[in-house]
Amino acid sequence: MDINKKTECRRRSVLRAATLPCVVSALLFTIIAASCQHEEIQKRPEGPIVARVGNDYLTLAELKESIPPEYSDVITRDQNVLYVRQWINTEILYQEAIRLGIDQEPVIKARLERMRKDLLSTELMSRSASASNVEISEQAIREYYESNREQFVREYNVVRYEDIVVPDVNVAFEIRRTVTHESFKNVAKTHSKSPEGVSENAPYVVLDAIPPKLRNAIITTTVLPAIIGPYGAEDGFHVMRVTGKYDKGTIASIDEVRDEIISRLSSITQKGETERLISEIRARSDVEFNVDLIPGVGAVTPETSKQDTVKQDTPKPTTAAAATAAPRPTVTPITPRPAPTAPRPAVPPAPTPAPAPAAEE
C-alpha cells in the first residue's frame, strides 16, 4: 500500500513538473497580450479618428490643422476625402518600406539626411526673413515702377468696371434709372446678388473673360466713366459702371502691377537677407573650400572663386529702399490678373425677358 502511495505521489510530481512550463508560458502570453493591448490603448489619440493604418492615426483635429487658414472656408469635402486617401496610401507604403528595412539602406539614409539638412536650412532662412519684417514702402514701389515701366506691358485688352447683379429685370431698370456714380457702391451693397463685384478699387479684368453680351456693351461704350445696362445674363441682370478701358500693348498702371512689384521687391529683399545671414554665420564658422579640386568642364571664373573664398566680415543690411537699386531680374511682361473677388460669369448670356435698352453712356 505504501508503495502505491509513493508511486502516485511521484506520478503527480512529474505531472506538475510537466504542466508548470505550460502554465508559465500561458501566463507570460497573457501578460504580454495585456501589455500590448495597454500599449495600443495608450497610443490611440484622443478625439475622433478619421483614419488609421496600423498604430498610426489621423485625427479630425490633425486634418483640420493641415488645411491652411486662408482655404478653410473654401475647401470642399471631396478635397478633404482625397487628402485622407492620400494619407492612407502614404502610410501603407511608408510602413511597408520600414518593414522591409529600406530606411536602413546607406543610400536612403544619406538621402534622408540631405532632406533633413535642406528642410532645417530652409526653415532657418524663412524665420530670419520673417524676423526682419521689412515692409515695402510706397516710395520703393513707385521707384521700381518708374525704373521698369517697359516691363509692364499689357498683353491683353483689359477693362475696369463695377457690377450690380439682380434677379429681376424690373428692379434692374429701376436701379439703372436712379443710380449715380456716387451712389453706385451703396446700391450694390444693398441690392446686388454679388456685392463683392464692387470694391474700393475696381479690379482690372481681361476683356475676353467677360460674357459676350456684357463685353459688347463695354466695347461700344466710348465716354467714360459710364453707367450702362441692364443686360441679361445667365446669373441675372447686370447694371455696370465702366471706369476704364485699356488696349493691349499699352503700359499698365502702377495699380495694375502693384502686387507684382511688391512680390519682386520682397524676393530681392529676402535674397539679400539670406546672403546677409549666410555671411554672418560663415564669419564664425570653420569652413574649408578647395575649389580647385572640383571637377567639371571649364575653368572657375575669378568672380566665382573670389566669392566663395573671401570671407565677408561686415555684411551690409538690406532694406526695401536699397532693393530698388539691386540688379533686377529679367522678367516677362506682366499679364493683368482677373479680379481677386468672385469672378464674373463666363457663360453665354440667357435671353432677356424684357427688351433692354442699347448701351447708354
Summarize pLDDT for 201-211 with one digit per residue, the tens: 777 899 999 98
Main-chain dihedrals φ then ψ at residue 348, nearest 5 degrees:
-60, 140
Q: Which of 168-172, 272-276, 291-295, 317-321 has maximum average pLDDT?
A: 168-172
Task: Give the CATH number for residue 195.
Answer: 3.10.50.40
Evaluate whether residue 81 is within a structural domain.
Answer: no
**Distance (Å, rounded) from C-alpha 66 to C-alpha 164?**
37
Asked whether residue 197 falls in the same domain as residue 319, the answer is yes
User: Residue 243: enclosing H or E segment and its boundaries?
Assistant: strand 236-246
Considering the domain architecture, whether residues 170 and 21 belong to the same structural domain is answered as no
The answer to whether residues 173 and 315 belong to one domain is yes
Q: Are residues 344 and 213 in the same domain?
A: yes
Distance CA 33, CA 26 (A): 10
Predicted local confidence at residue 152, as pLDDT: 93
Amino acid found at 221: T
Q: Per the domain annotation, does 48 fall within a domain?
A: no
Q: Which residues contact 165 (CB under 8 A, 6 or more apart)?
A: 192, 193, 194, 197, 233, 235, 236, 237, 238
Question: And the C-alpha cell for 230?
Answer: 441692364
Are 38 and 185 within one domain? no
How many domains would you assign to the chain? 2
User: Which of helix, strand or coil describes residue 158?
Assistant: strand
pLDDT, mean of residues 135-139: 89
pLDDT at residue 114, as a whole number: 97
Report the alpha-carbon distance of residue 142 to residue 253 in Å, rounded: 11
Q: Which of 10-14, 270-274, 346-350 has the highest mean pLDDT?
A: 270-274
Contact of 198 with 184, CB cutoff 8 Å: yes
DSSP state of 298: S
Domain contains 193 = yes
Q: Is residue 128 part of a domain?
A: no
Strand partners, 150: none
In a domain, 82, yes or no: no
Cα distance between residue 261 and residue 154, in whole Å:
15
Tell me if 296 is assigned to some domain.
no
Contact 225, 241 (CB under 8 A): yes
Higher pLDDT, 198 or 147: 147
Task: Note down the domain range covering 5.
Answer: 1-43
DSSP one-letter code for 104: G
- List the grid coordinates of 79: 478635397
At 354, is the pLDDT very low, low, confident or very high (cuts 50, 70, 90)?
Answer: very low
Give domain status of residue 17, yes or no: yes
Would 187 be classed as within a structural domain? Answer: yes
Residue 54: strand, helix, or coil = coil
Q: Name the amino acid, one letter, at 319.
A: T
Is it the case that residue 231 has pLDDT exceeding 60?
yes
What are 41-98's pLDDT values in tens digits? Answer: 447 888 899 999 999 999 999 999 998 888 888 889 999 999 999 999 999 999 999 9
* Averaged pLDDT, 151-180: 93
| Measured distance CA(175)–CA(162) in Å, rounded | 14
